[in-house]
Structure 1
Amino acid sequence: MSRRPALAALLLALCLAAGGCGAQEAPAPAEPQTPSQEELAMTTCTLSVGDQTYSVTLADTEAARALAARLPLTLSMTELNGNEKYANLDQALPTAATQPGEIHTGDLMLYGADCLVLFYGDFTTAYSYTPLGRLADPTGLAAALGTGGVTVTLTAN
C-alpha cells in the first residue's frame, strides 16, 4: 500500500480542520462608529407651543427620520378627546404602526400615514400608531396646549 493516499488524506483533513485550504484570517471586528454631530442632532428636536419649549427625543423609526428631514414645521393642531392634539401633514410619512396599548403624556405619534398626534394625557388605547418620539419632560404640556386649537412648531436642534 502506498503512503501517498494516506498523506493526501492527512493533508486534506488538516486543511479542512483549519477552515479550508487557502482560508484567510477573519477580518477584525469593525470599530464602533461614533455618531456624527449631524446624526446626534437628528435624535432630538424642539417642540414649541406659545412661550413653552420641550425637548423631543425622536424614535428610532423611518417615520421619525422622515419627519426630522422636514423640520422646521409649524402645525395648526386640533383638539380631540380632551387628551390629544392632531394635525394632518401635507405629505405622508413611512408607517410601521403597532398597538401600544397605553399612551403617555408627551407621546408623539403618527396615526395612519399623515396625521401627527401629540398626546397630553395618559390612557389606554386599542388604536395603532407609528412612534415618532416622546417629550423628554412633558411637565405643563396640557396647560401649554390649552383646550382648543393650537399652533405648534417643531425645529431641529
Structure 2
Amino acid sequence: MDKNIVLIGMPGSGKSTIGELLSKLLGLKLYDVDQFIEKTESRSISELFITGEEYFRAIETKAIGIISSYNKVIISTGGGTIKSPHNMEMLRDHGLIIFISRPLNDIIADIDTESRPLLKNGKEKIYELYQERYPLYKKYCDYEIINDKDINLVCDQISNLILK
C-alpha cells in the first residue's frame, strides 16, 4: 500500500491506541496529530483551546498539511479534524481514511473528560458532538471499522483491509 492510513473518529473511539498498535504491527511510523501539535507548539491542546476553538483548528490544519504530505505513515487525527473540508482533502489526497466507530456507551464509560477541552463541562457534551460529527465521519471515510471488541481484532481488520 502506497498511501497513508488515516484514522478518524470520536474522542475516545480508540484512534490513538489503534494507531500505536498498527504502527508496531505494520512497521509504519505513527503521527498522532494532537501529539504533533503539542510538540510543535510547546503547549497542551487544553492550553491552545483557551484562546478558542477557531485558533486551535487553524493550528490543527497547519499540522495536517505537514503530516499529510508524508508517505506510508499512520495518522491518528483529533476527533474534530473532520469539521474542516480542507483538512479532509489534504488527508484524502495521500491517504486511506478509516472511521473508527465505537458505541457511545463504551466511549462514555471510558473517556477522561479532564484531558479533553470540548468535554470539560461533562460527558453529556459527547452526545452533541456525536450528532454533529457522525455524518461527517461517514461522509469522509473509505472504510468504517466498529471498535466494539478486542482492540487487537480491530487492528487485524484494518491490516486485512490494507494488505488486500
**Which bin holds the TM-score, normalised by the shorter protein?**
under 0.3
TM-score normalised by L of structure 2: 0.22
Structure with bigger RCO (C-alpha 8 Å, 6+ apart): 2
Kindly indicate which of the two structures has a greater share of residues assigned to strand: 1
Kindly indicate which of the two structures has a greater share of residues assigned to helix: 2
Instruction: Name the larger-Rg structure.
Output: 1
